[in-house]
């Protein structure tokens, strides 16, 4: 019937540490890239946009 007793202050601090570490990991993945990696990703995005624009039909701007 009785559950485990926990210290709420310690639990709150532990959760804050876990959240901070997950944010730091995401930032390392997002900002910790080399200039070449950033340029490669930008080139891939540009290529995808150009490919999509090239496949659009002319005069298909209006939908009935």
For 25-53, the pLDDT digits (tens) are 999 988 888 999 989 999 999 999 999 88
What pLDDT is recorded for position 47?
A: 95
Is 59 within a domain?
no
User: DSSP letters along 1-64, please?
Assistant: -------HHHHHHHHHHHHHHHHHHHHHHHH---HHHHHHHHHHHHHHHHHHHHTSPTT-----
Cα(30)–Cα(42) distance, integer angstroms: 14
Is 42 within a domain?
yes
Q: Is the dihedral of CA 45, 46, 52, 56 positive or negative?
A: positive
Structure tokens at 23: 């944010």
Number of residues written out for the chain: 64
Is 63 within a domain?
no
Is 62 within a domain?
no
Is 49 within a domain?
yes
- Which residue segment(s) compose the domain that 44 sits in? 8-53
Is 35 within a domain?
yes
What pLDDT is recorded for position 30?
A: 85
pLDDT over 90 at 63, yes or no: no
Is 58 within a domain?
no
Domain count, the chain: 1
């Amino acid at each position: 019937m009785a559950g485990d007793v926990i210290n709420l202050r310690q639990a709150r601090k532990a959760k804050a540490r876990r959240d901070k570490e997950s944010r730091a990991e995401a930032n390392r993945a997002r900002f910790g890239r080399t200039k070449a990696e950033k340029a490669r990703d930008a080139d891939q995005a540009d290529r995808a946009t150009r490919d999509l624009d090239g496949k659009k039909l002319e005069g298909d701007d209006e939908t009935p």
